[in-house]
Structure 1
Amino acid sequence: MMNGTIRKAAVIGSGIMGSQIAAHLANVGIPTLLLDIVPKELSEEEARKGLALDNPAVRNRYAASAIAKLAKIKPAPLYDPSFASRITPGNLEDDLSQIAHVDWIIEVVVENLDVKKSLFEKIEQYSKPGTIITSNTSGISIDAMAEGRSAEFQKQFLGTHFFNPPRYMKLLELVPGEHTDPELVQSMKQFCERVLGKGVVIAKDTPNFIGNRIGTYGLLVTLQEMQKNGGYTVEEVDAVTGPAMGRPKSATFRTLDLVGLDTFIHVADNVFHQIEEGAEKEVFRTPEVLKGMAQRKWLGEKSGQGFYRKVKGEKGNEILALNLETLDYAVQQKPKGASLEAAKAAKGTTEKTKAMISGKDRYAQLAWNILKQVLIYSADKVGEISDSIQDIDDAMKWGFSWDLGPFETWDAIGLVRSVERMEAEGLLVPAWVKSWIAAGNTSFYKKDSGSLYTANISTGQFKEVKHVPEIISLRNLKEQNKIVKGNSGASLIDLGDGVACLEFHSPNNAIGEDILSMISQSVDEVGRNFEGMVIANQGKNFCVGANIMLLLMEAQDEEWDEIDNIIHTFQSTMFKLKHSLKPVVASPHKMCLGGGVEACMPADLVLANAETYYGLVEVGVGLIPAGGGCKELTQRASQSVKLTGSDLQPYITQIFETVGMAKVSTSGHDAKRLGYLRATDRVVASQDHSIYEAKQAVLGLARSGYEPIPHDKIQVVGSEGKAVLQLGALGMKQSGYLSDHDLLIAKKLAHVLAGGDVPAGTLVTEQYMLDLEREAFLSLCGEPKTQQRMQHMLTKGKALRN
């Protein structure tokens, strides 16, 4: 194998990581064999059933049980629960010979070198020549595991360190051994990026590789700074080391609670026992406070308490924080300080970090004391853990959710100025950094003529980052003056080859007048001068919906004509988009809600990222979809009935339940199950490749002789069907599931989805359905309880039941 395709895989070890790696392989359509050891004794349930130890159900128990548990784990490891059928359970005694039929074998057993070596000896006996064999170790030497194996085995062997949970964490570290085929490493990198949707970095075979080496160091120096200077609480440290410094909300101690203190200590010990005596070794020595907590079994979330503990109080659940001096818990306090406030007020990670470390208070001092050590350590490890500063940066962003990697952070705060400050404080800055600055360089990264360059320490020169055609950066294209049209909310960007991309870039990508105007202009522009259009962006979320604030303000001012005009403009823009003269492909990712879904529905094809959370959620703010969402779903149901001759009512009832309960998909595949996506729509695993894939889809549609979507009439269930829907809603009200206002919304929704008070089977136009949507939406805007729901969503970020 390595023609770029892995058709079948085997995962050995069905623990948390093994089963979830198998689940992710199943997610992308790779049938996977999951093997584990044979149980030595019957479980109570097996004994009650009268099973014997030689029964296959008993012998495969560990793997089969792990597969069954996948459906219960939160967050879900599978894109769709049905994908569990792609995983076959087995055991190492009866089924190891089956690995002769797979292309990739992943070992995920206990982190013990002897156990792993013994297993690889057996694997070599059964695997076919050319099979890729990898270990998911988090820190054991690749070469040590391959010792004693054949040259062929060592050529095909490397580390593939998935971060937990494998579905959601982008980082995958590839760790070649001394004898690993370099071509295999590159092929695996491309495969794991494109097919598995991972961000891949190449790590050297050193303790803990890249991410855990620097991440563990950062957490330990944070704890040491806290104890060295004294007086800092757990809450204060987390306030400093979270979003204020471009790090995740879990910051330091919440992260340790999530990881598990036992796991963290194991990772730290792995470095401690493998490096030479000195200052670095002392950093990785487990602090006594962590040892004490581990002895008490205060391991974090897995044990119910760690640095934080949730308890039930008079006002509901309360979060208590641990006092590391007394080991007592108390209600957590929110830290306040000038530097924290300055960081909070600053825009963007660069400005936040600058504000945090340049202050004069104790929080600024803590931030700087931590950051300077992490930056110096990262620079000191270049060449040892990786030759690429970009891989180090990417590892920390993808594996630890940092907004900026260490070298990007150094550039952000000012390389020359910060090094001067470090040296003035007596720190030893790595020689290569000082040489780099002495050569006249003021940053580790630079852009020139649209190309990105990074520092190459082996040459002392900038090195151009290889452009990957399949990864399209809209930011780079805009820097290259590829914007065709634009305003404050959206831009039309030339992707090349006759394809344009409509990018939303308003706050939260919420749809307002500016985006609607640019959609309309883009349809005209593409119709004249392009082969087709992609709708995509590279923001945190694709689109959170329409601008609720604007609607609420207009409703409170009783500007009904203005609201009617807003909805009419939204509807007419989506109608124009749907009937574009050129093909349109939408590529949503992450949160795509309400109006965002309605902006995708008119497209000829939707290529959703696997991690797309997609749904019409207007009911949550007391409204119904009115940008064409109801019309589109009803029309699709009508088209299905026309093709199959089946009854329309069940389709409409399902839509009523989905929209009425504001269901949101848990993945792109789940959006298909819910009926938001069509059978012809597709799911793409890699968000990095999604715009490229959408562009290719546009070109494919254009080359196949594209014809605009026809103006088909819609068959509706009418007044009879409406009665069925409303009866169901009334039953839910009587059972206590709906409030009076919920019932009012449900009746309005039923009226629209049924096509109003016309006879069942009536054929209506798209505009007729849009008019029903708009009338219902407008009437609900006038309801005080709907306005309360809108206000609550804006202020609290969650739905109000009133």
Structure 2
Amino acid sequence: MNKPIRKAAVIGSGIMGSGIAAQLANAGIPCLLLDIVPKQLTEAETAKGYTLDHPAVRNRLATAAIAHLSKIKPAPLYDESFAQRITPGNLEDHLALISEVDWVIEVVVENLDVKKQLLATVEQHWKPGIVISSNTSGISINAMVEGRSEEFRKHFLGTHFFNPPRYMKLIEVIPGIETDPSLVKELSRFCERKLGKTVVLAKDTPNFIANRIGTFGLLVTLREMAEKGYTVEEVDAVTGPAMGRPKSATFRTLDLVGLDTFVHVADNVFANVDDEAEKKVFEAPEVLKEMVTRRWLGEKTGQGFYKKIKGANGSEIFALDLSTMEYRSQKKPASASLEAAKLAKGAKAKTKAMISGQDRYSQLAWDVLKQVLVYSAEKLGEIADDIRELDEAMKWGFNWELGPFETWDAIGLVKSVDKMEAEGLKVPAWVKEWIAQGNTSFYKKEDGVLFQVMRGEYRRVEIPQEVISLSDLKAQNKVVKSNSGASLIDLGDGVACLEFHSPNNAIGNDILSMISQSVEEVRNNFEGLVIANQGRNFCVGANLMMLLMEAQDEEWDEVDDIIRLFQNTMYGLKRFEKPVVAAPHRMTLGGGVEACMPADQVIAAAETYYGLVEVGVGVIPAGGGCKELALRASQQASVGDADLQPYINHIFQTVGTATVSSSGHDAKRLGLLKPTDRIVIHPDHTIYEAKQAVLRMAAGGYEPIPETKIRVVGSEGKAVLQLGAIGMRESGYISDHDLLIAKKLAHVLAGGDVPAGTYVTEQYMLDLEREAFLSLCGEPKTRQRMQHMLTKGKPLRN
């Protein structure tokens, strides 16, 4: 690539095309979205007097696709306003505009002839230097550009996004024979850094990597099921979380993908491989062909392997009995191996427990797994050059927790190969040679450095500098301090990282203690502090169990001490004389948000779901959350001496409805993040970016945030807030207890019963928070909400 990608064009506005355009828009890349010109008018267009020549008609498909983005769930855009970055057009009037972009992505129907014809037309307007790629799930990249110029072929490659493009982290990059290697490298880096993707390099073979291995696995599962007489529910019980796979397992996955789509993907391999044994595997089973004929395609037609049926007691999900082709109530499988897998911690332990049993379910798990592992080893070198490409493709393309070779290591490479060969399975020669050299795993770690087998020896896996692994730093003895809830880790260059690692990263006394210890350590020995972790979620809030136990025992002094400690710790963090940057990701709720608020800056992952949700358990934010939002409102309203009440109204609604952002950008829109906070699109880069932010502040002569007075709306503003809540109660939208909580929240956010316009201290606001929290903990219905959340994992509306 001779120039950076600043503008793109997507050709094809279907689900994938519009989704890719949306992800480009999410990354700040303006995008042209083109589709064919409609041949007929709609009734609405006719009523408006339009003709086929009207621009609104000619651009209809792309325009409609952009409008539809706001209706899709889950949302393709981080913020609905980003749709403005996508410009609709059509292939007849606007194709010449591709000469002005840096990257053109073809996303039309999966048909080789259609793609070849389109690319021939594209080349008429293409200029050297513009990257051209096809988003195909398995059609040959080289075949698509037969007949195109040498220069065009040098700039052409495959970029296989997975659906939905915002949420699926994988992109398979497939170079053609003549693709410029430097383009492959630079585009891959762009996709990682700007689009937040994990990139794997695939070879130009049928279905590339993920769909090749994944389709094989699904087909062998279907065959084992048919031969051994397993039910739909039994297969899904075995091939889901029990083996480190998604909850959708086998048949829910097929229903989601669409059976017709799956058969098409399988047929693509069947038609394009020469090995007869492999062909036989990829021949779609008769039951699938029959279901496609009946239009039982899954979610899109309302029935597939599962069907939702309404009954007298509501809707129930029925499963298909393949022996009768009729739907029946599900029967939940149970066995010792399933129970052992359920109790095991982590994908490695679960998979090992599942295949180690002695029942028919463990046999199914082993019979499927062994074939997938051997097939993956057979395809190494043909579909990709190294095992990590295969593992990453399956983890991020099919949501497996472990890739095939990671799984093989987890269950014991040597022992499992012995068992496979004893059962007559032919294990690839390179695997046996590797074991014969004395090796017992495909991967190994030494001092936090990862190595993988490659060409008969261990080679270091190169990790980009933007990816900082806290577990690797721990392995390198970089832990400075640690307790049961958190650790302080040396990130290098004078920056330390405070990592939460309590259950669910819930904030309790152990984490608060480590925050205080970390502040002292950083004060003496570091330039600044990053608050981050690499758990599934950043933090789900405070330790609710501890609070509930104290409230049930009516130990109010203990509850007061807990909240006071939380407040004082956060306040101390805010006034710390060295820079602090928080890097939240995914679920960051309640106390997790309050742990980020004292930071000088928040570097949030784009997929951060951020919210003060305390009202869901019957209380209000009391770790400084209300105080911080009231302070921000006061500061915002001070610009131009604006009316403060609308700002407080917005906060009251956001906190009072326990609103959680749909992305990091949405958290900014809600005011939960500051305008100066940053969003990083790649989740693995947040700690690196946070570290850089600390270093910049330290180098710039950091000054701590000074104590600030807060202008409040007082008793008059409180009345406005409470009046709105009373209206909600009278309309039946909230309960009496909701109203009580809302009144307490209004009292705090308004600054109590002082006159409007009064300036109060931060400590005054903290005291209001704590008093309201304590009084609500004394309410039986609040304790019911806490208990319900702990036992059911969802809020109770009582």
TM-score range, shorter chain: over 0.9
Q: Does 1:7 align with 2:2?
A: no
Q: Which amino acid aligns with 1:712?
A: T
Do the aligned residues in 2 keep the contact of 1:620 with 1:800 (CA within 8 Å)?
yes
CA RMSD of aligned residues (A): 0.8
Q: 1:502 aligns with which of 495, 498, 505?
A: 498
Of 70-79 and 464-473, more deviation after overlay is shown by: 464-473
For 1:468 and 1:92, how far apart are their aligned partners in 2?
39
SS in 2 for 1:329: strand
For 1:153-552, list aligned pairs within 5 A: 153-230=152-229, 232-456=230-454, 459-552=455-548
For 2:751 and 2:158, how far apart are their aligned partners in 1?
58
Deviation at 1:525, TM superposition (A): 1.2
| Aligned position for 1:96 | 95
For 2:484 and 2:300, how far apart are their aligned partners in 1?
46
For 2:306 and 2:42, how far apart are their aligned partners in 1?
35
For 2:529 and 2:471, how far apart are their aligned partners in 1?
18
SS in 1 for 2:684: coil
- Per-residue displacement from partner, 1:76-111 (whole Å, max 9, x unpaired)? 000001100100000001000000100000000011
| Aligned position for 1:38 | 37
| Aligned position for 1:66 | 65
Q: Which amino acid aligns with 2:197?
A: K
Q: Does 1:117 align with 2:116?
A: yes
Do the aligned residues in 1 keep the contact of 2:542 with 2:591 (CA within 8 Å)?
yes
Q: Which amino acid aligns with 1:348?
A: G
For 2:564 and 2:493, how far apart are their aligned partners in 1?
34
Q: Does 1:775 align with 2:774?
A: no
Deviation at 1:644, TM superposition (A): 2.8
Gaps of 5+ in 1: none
For 1:644 and 1:79, how far apart are their aligned partners in 2?
30
SS in 2 for 1:546: coil
Q: Does 1:801 align with 2:797?
A: yes
Deviation at 1:449, TM superposition (A): 2.9
Do the aligned residues in 1 keep the contact of 2:634 with 2:712 (CA within 8 Å)?
yes
Of 656-665 and 323-332, more deviation after overlay is shown by: 323-332
Deviation at 1:466, TM superposition (A): 1.3
For 2:536 and 2:763, how far apart are their aligned partners in 1?
34
SS in 2 for 1:310: strand
SS in 2 for 1:569: helix
| Aligned position for 2:606 | 610
For 1:72 and 1:137, how far apart are their aligned partners in 2?
25
- Per-residue displacement from partner, 1:623-644 (whole Å, max 9, x unpaired)? 1000100000000111112233
- Per-residue displacement from partner, 1:169-208 (whole Å, max 9, x unpaired)? 0010000000011111111111100110001000000000
Do the aligned residues in 1 keep the contact of 2:447 with 2:472 (CA within 8 Å)?
no
For 1:650 and 1:567, how far apart are their aligned partners in 2?
29
For 1:594-609, list aligned pairs within 5 A: 594-609=590-605
Number of matched pairs: 798
For 1:707 and 1:151, how far apart are their aligned partners in 2?
58
- Per-residue displacement from partner, 1:564-619 (whole Å, max 9, x unpaired)? 11101111011011111111111111100000000011111111111000000000
Q: Which amino acid aligns with 2:222?
A: L
Q: Does 1:746 align with 2:739?
A: no
Q: Which amino acid aligns with 2:758?
A: T
- Per-residue displacement from partner, 1:430-467 (whole Å, max 9, x unpaired)? 010000101111000011233211001xx311111113
SS in 1 for 2:642: coil
Q: Which amino acid aligns with 1:419?
A: V
Q: Which amino acid aligns with 2:790?
A: L
| Aligned position for 2:625 | 629
For 1:720-735, list aligned pairs within 5 A: 720-735=716-731
For 1:519 and 1:330, how far apart are their aligned partners in 2?
55
| Aligned position for 1:696 | 692
Do the aligned residues in 2 keep the contact of 1:2 with 1:187 (CA within 8 Å)?
no
Q: Which amino acid aligns with 1:439?
A: Q
Q: Does 1:643 align with 2:643?
A: no
Deviation at 1:277, TM superposition (A): 4.2
Q: Which amino acid aligns with 2:69?
A: L
- Per-residue displacement from partner, 1:624-679 (whole Å, max 9, x unpaired)? 00010000000011111223310111100110000000000000000011110111
Identity %: 75
For 1:178 and 1:738, how far apart are their aligned partners in 2?
63
Do the aligned residues in 1 keep the contact of 2:603 with 2:680 (CA within 8 Å)?
yes
| Aligned position for 1:56 | 55
Deviation at 1:330, TM superposition (A): 1.3
Of 316-325 and 652-661, more deviation after overlay is shown by: 316-325
Do the aligned residues in 2 keep the contact of 1:196 with 1:686 (CA within 8 Å)?
yes
For 1:19 and 1:155, how far apart are their aligned partners in 2?
26
- Per-residue displacement from partner, 1:56-94 (whole Å, max 9, x unpaired)? 000001110100100101110000011001000000010
SS in 2 for 1:492: strand
| Aligned position for 2:659 | 663
Q: Which amino acid aligns with 1:209?
A: F
TM-score by length of 2: 0.99
For 1:700 and 1:639, how far apart are their aligned partners in 2?
25
For 1:569 and 1:508, how far apart are their aligned partners in 2?
20
Q: Which amino acid aligns with 2:781?
A: K
Do the aligned residues in 1 keep the contact of 2:715 with 2:756 (CA within 8 Å)?
yes
TM-score by length of 1: 0.99
SS in 2 for 1:491: strand
For 1:509 and 1:339, how far apart are their aligned partners in 2?
30
For 2:551 and 2:233, how far apart are their aligned partners in 1?
41
Q: Which amino acid aligns with 2:240?
A: G
| Aligned position for 1:149 | 148
Deviation at 1:324, TM superposition (A): 1.0
SS in 1 for 2:304: coil
For 1:467 and 1:669, how far apart are their aligned partners in 2?
28
For 1:236 and 1:791, how far apart are their aligned partners in 2?
33
Of 570-579 and 304-313, more deviation after overlay is shown by: 304-313
Of 269-278 and 175-184, more deviation after overlay is shown by: 269-278
Deviation at 1:2, TM superposition (A): 4.1
Do the aligned residues in 2 keep the contact of 1:452 with 1:465 (CA within 8 Å)?
yes
| Aligned position for 1:589 | 585
- Per-residue displacement from partner, 1:222-276 (whole Å, max 9, x unpaired)? 110011111x111111000011100011100011111111111111111011011
Deviation at 1:295, TM superposition (A): 1.1
Do the aligned residues in 1 keep the contact of 2:715 with 2:752 (CA within 8 Å)?
yes
| Aligned position for 1:564 | 560
SS in 1 for 2:272: coil
For 1:397 and 1:488, how far apart are their aligned partners in 2?
30
Do the aligned residues in 2 keep the contact of 1:257 with 1:299 (CA within 8 Å)?
yes
SS in 2 for 1:172: strand
SS in 2 for 1:166: coil
For 2:729 and 2:562, how far apart are their aligned partners in 1?
32
For 2:53 and 2:14, how far apart are their aligned partners in 1?
22
Q: Which amino acid aligns with 2:343?
A: A
Do the aligned residues in 2 keep the contact of 1:102 with 1:131 (CA within 8 Å)?
yes
